[in-house]
């Protein structure tokens, strides 16, 4: 049984970090052998992956352990190497997301497209620096996607495990891209109902952050389909709660902790459930005031503060916090299912708290 409130998560995270570093060393050598000009790409991807909470790989490991997967050294090493693929998929999503949103920073550092825009400018490269930065970020995001498949293929898992996990990984990638498009499309709509915003939350983040990684881990343990259904009862509500916490942090988060500008979602005009509820519950004049600045990247700190105040006044924060609490409670109850191993239950309970009670 796991001992200590966080020791299980910390141990698994260290093992995942080690496997990721091992794989990136191989990937760097492979790229460097092609051409020295590729070294900045390897360095950028490595630095980008140096941070992060590793939630998706951790959920996959929890799914494996919860389904009774073997903890023998060779077996668990293969699992740690396989779940690295989920962190690389996450890198692809974040790099492309920052580029589509025009975000300047990620985790307190320049976003990938800004990094290569500056690199191009610093060496007085021909052409437009911004266009070069966007093209580089697009390719590096694609590279992370390709490497995610490579990491899974080279993990050392057996043929039966690969046959079980590959369809889930494929579905996960489809759902992620679908959610990203729905999110982008929502930004172009004049009005997005709360129900639509919650659906986007499920596909943009919820499924590929929690439910599918659990299925991924269960597949590595060769679990029965019924076990995946149990994981869905945990993963879907917690996935919603996870994204809704993200939405609150995107508006009210401390920039020194989130690594993003204050009120970043307000500047980008993100049509989240939080925003949809606020707009639906503000008075006419307040809606006009809010929408006049919403999505304006040149909004002043005072205008951002006023938008935050209007959201607070609408009751949206209380509405979202209530959903987070309700969905987290549902997930915690689902984590106690007797088909889930004791160690798996403990990891899932810890991860539920880590996913929903965070400041970044």
- pLDDT tens figures, 119-159: 999 999 999 999 999 999 999 999 999 999 999 999 999 99
Whether 265 contacts 251, CB under 8 Å = yes
Mean pLDDT computed over 17-29: 96
Average pLDDT over residues 73-89: 97
Cβ-contact 59, 104 below 8 angstroms: no
pLDDT in tens, 179-199: 999 988 998 888 899 999 999
For 121-176, give the DSSP string.
Answer: HHTT-SS-HHHHHHHHHHHHHHHHHHHHHHHHHTS---HHHHHHHHHHHHHHHHHH
Q: Is 54 helix (H, G, I), strand (E, B) or coil?
A: coil
Distance between CA atoms of residues 268 and 187, nearest Å: 9
Residue-level pLDDT at 242: 94
DSSP run (H or E) holding 110: strand 109-110
The predicted pLDDT at position 2 comes to 45
Question: For the chain, what percent of residues have pLDDT higher than 90?
Answer: 84
39-61 mean pLDDT? 94
Distance from C-alpha of 267 to C-alpha of 299, rounded to nearest angstrom: 7
Is the pLDDT score of 7 beyond 70?
no
What is the predicted pLDDT for the residue at 6? 52
Mean pLDDT taken over the chain? 93
The pLDDT score that the predictor gives to residue 105 is: 87
- Quickly count: other Cβ atoms within 10 Å of residue 322's Cβ: 11
Is residue 160 within 8 Å of residue 114, measured between CB atoms?
Answer: no
Q: Is the pLDDT of residue 4 over 70?
A: no
CATH number of 7-356: 1.10.600.10
Q: Where are the extended beta strands (E) located within 183-259?
A: none
Number of Cβ within a 10 Å radius of residue 100:
18
CA distance 225 to 219: 9
């Amino acid at each position: 049984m796991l001992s200590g409130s966080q020791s299980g998560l910390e141990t698994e995270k260290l093992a995942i970090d080690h496997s990721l570093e091992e794989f990136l060393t191989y990937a760097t050598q492979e790229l460097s052998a092609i051409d020295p000009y590729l070294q900045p790409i390897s360095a950028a991807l490595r630095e980008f992956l140096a941070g992060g909470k590793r939630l998706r790989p951790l959920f996959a490991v929890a799914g494996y352990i919860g389904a009774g997967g073997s903890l023998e050294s060779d077996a668990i090493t293969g699992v740690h190497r396989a779940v690295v693929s989920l962190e690389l998929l996450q890198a692809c999503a974040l790099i492309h997301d920052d580029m589509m949103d025009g975000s300047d920073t990620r985790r307190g550092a320049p976003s990938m497209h800004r990094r290569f825009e500056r690199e191009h400018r610093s060496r007085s490269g021909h052409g437009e620096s911004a266009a070069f930065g966007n093209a580089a970020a697009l390719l590096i995001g694609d590279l992370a996607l390709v490497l995610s498949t490579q990491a899974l293929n080279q993990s050392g898992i057996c043929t039966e495990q690969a046959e079980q996990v590959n369809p889930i990984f494929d579905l996960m990638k489809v759902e992620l891209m679908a959610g990203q498009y729905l999110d982008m499309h929502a930004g172009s709509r004049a009005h997005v109902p709360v129900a639509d915003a919650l659906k986007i939350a499920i596909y943009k983040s919820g499924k590929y952050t929690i439910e599918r990684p659990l299925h991924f881990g269960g597949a590595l343990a060769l679990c029965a389909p019924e076990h995946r259904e149990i994981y869905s009862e945990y993963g879907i509500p917690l996935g919603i709660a996870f994204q809704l916490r993200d939405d609150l942090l995107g508006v009210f988060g401390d920039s020194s902790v989130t690594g993003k500008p204050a009120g970043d979602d307000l500047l980008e005009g993100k049509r989240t459930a939080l925003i949809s509820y606020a707009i639906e519950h503000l008075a006419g004049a307040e809606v006009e005031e809010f929408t006049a600045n919403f999505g304006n990247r040149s909004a002043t700190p005072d205008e951002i503060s006023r938008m935050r105040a209007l959201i607070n006044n609408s009751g949206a924060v209380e509405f979202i916090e209530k959903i987070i609490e309700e969905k987290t409670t549902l997930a915690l109850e689902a984590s106690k299912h007797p088909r889930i191993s004791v160690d798996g239950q403990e990891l899932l309970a810890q991860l539920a708290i880590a996913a929903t009670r965070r400041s970044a």
